[in-house]
Amino acid sequence: MLLMTDEGLINEPNEAFILDDDLNEVHTHAKETGSSDLFEVEATTGNIYSLQYLQLVPGRQYKDYTVRMRATDKDGLTTSRYEVQVRVFDINDRRPYFTNYHQPFRVSAHECLDPGSILGRVKGEDDDSDYNQNNWVYFGGGGGNFDIAANGWVVLNQRCKDGESYTGTATIADQGIKSGPLTGDPMDVIVNCGTPHSHPDIAGTSIRGIAEYSTETPTTASTKTQNSTASTGTSACPGAATGTFYAGLLEGNLHRPRSNSASPWIQTQGRREHAGGRGQRVTA
C-alpha cells in the first residue's frame, strides 16, 4: 500500500481496511521488524507517525520509507500482516537567494546606450527540488534608470547621464505551490554611468522585439503612447542611430523562466528568441 505525504512532522491515518467476520471486534496495530526507524504505529488506530521532523536533502523530490505492520484481533487469535510504503514529498520550505559573488551588484553604462540595453544579469538559486515548482526562481525590482527583468537582466529604461550613479533593489522569489511562494533577501544594484570612452567595453545589447528603431517621423518632438515612449533628435554619440526609438518594455514581454536552470525566453512579435545566444530563433 502506498501512503503519500509531505515532509515535516508526519501523522497520517491508516488507510488499510481490515475485514473480520467477528462481531464487535477490536484490533491492535503494531510495527514489525524491518520497518524504518523514523516511524511508529499508533496501537488503537493504526495511524503512522514520524518520530522526528523529516527534511529531504536539497534538490530531492521525494523519498520512500517502508513500514511493516500487523493487526491482531482482541483475543490474539488472528494476526494479519501488511506493508505500507510511505512516500514523503518535498515542500517549498527553502527561501531562494542571490548567487552573485559581489554584492551589491555593480554594472556600468554610458550615456550613448539606448533604453532597452542589457547591462548585466543578477542570478539566484533555490535549494528545494523542482516538485510543484518549488525551485522556479524569478526576479524583479529596479531603480532610477533601470529595471530588473523576470529572468534577471538589468535593463536600461532611459538614457543615463555621464557621472551619475543609480541605486535600486533586485528582488528574488520562487513559485512554489505548497506551502506557497517564498521570497529571498533583496540585493542592492548600482549602475554607474560614464561616456563611451570611459566604458569602451560596453556593447549595449538591446532586447530585439521589445526595443527597436523606426524611421517614421513623429508629429511632435516627444510622443507618449501606452507602454511605450518615442523620442527624436540627432544624437552626438558615435554610431548612434537617428529617428524614432520605441522602448515598449512591458512586464508581459519577458516570460519567467520555467526553472532556475532553464534558459529564459523573450516573447517577440511572431517568434520567440532564446536569450542564450544571438540568432537562435524558433518560429512560433
* Region of poorest pLDDT, from 105-109, 179-183, 190-194, 230-234: 230-234
What is the count of structural domains for the chain?
2
DSSP 54-86: B-PPTT--EEEEEEEEEEEETTS--EEEEEEEE
Do 175 and 59 share a structural domain? no
Do 118 and 31 share a structural domain? no
How does residue 236 score in pLDDT terms, banded at 50, 70 and 90?
A: low
Do 187 and 63 share a structural domain? no
pLDDT average, residue stretch 155-180 = 93
Which of 59, 57, 56, 58 minimizes the C-alpha distance to 88? 56
Do 103 and 85 share a structural domain? no
| pLDDT for the residue numbered 201 | 53
Give CA–CA dist 127/96, Å, rounded: 7
Which of 170, 1, 181, 190 minimizes the C-alpha distance to 95? 181
Do 81 and 6 share a structural domain? yes
Do 126 and 198 share a structural domain? yes
pLDDT average, residue stretch 58-67 = 96
- The tens digit of pLDDT for each residue in 13-57 reads 988 777 776 667 788 999 999 999 999 999 999 999 999 999 999
- The tens digit of pLDDT for each residue in 181-223 reads 999 999 999 999 987 766 555 544 444 333 332 223 333 323 3
Q: What is the CATH number of the domain that holds 36?
A: 2.60.40.60
Do 70 and 122 share a structural domain? no
Q: How many residues does the chain have?
A: 284
Which whole-number Å values give the CA distances from 237 to 42, 113, 197, 202, in the listed order? 78, 9, 11, 14
In angstroms, how far is CA 2 from the centroid of its own chain? 30
Do 70 and 162 share a structural domain? no
pTM above 0.85, yes or no: no
Q: For 198, how many CA atoms within 13 A lie in the half-sphere containing its CB?
A: 12
Do 66 and 127 share a structural domain? no
More confident position, 277 or 115? 115
- The tens digit of pLDDT for each residue in 134-164 reads 999 999 999 989 999 999 999 999 999 999 9
Do 173 and 123 share a structural domain? yes
Do 103 and 81 share a structural domain? no
Domain boundary at 31, 66, 89, which?
89
| pLDDT for the residue numbered 197 | 64
Q: Give the residue numbers spanning the domain of 85.
A: 2-89
Do 241 and 136 share a structural domain? yes
Domain boundary at 27, 56, 89, which?
89
Give CA–CA dist 174/220, Å, rounded: 44
Give CA–CA dist 284/278, Å, rounded: 17
For the chain, percent of residues with pLDDT exceeding 70: 68
Domain boundary at 43, 63, 89, which?
89
SS3 of residue 192 by DSSP: strand
Q: Is the model's pLDDT at 263 over the cut of 80?
A: no
pLDDT average, residue stretch 78-95 = 93
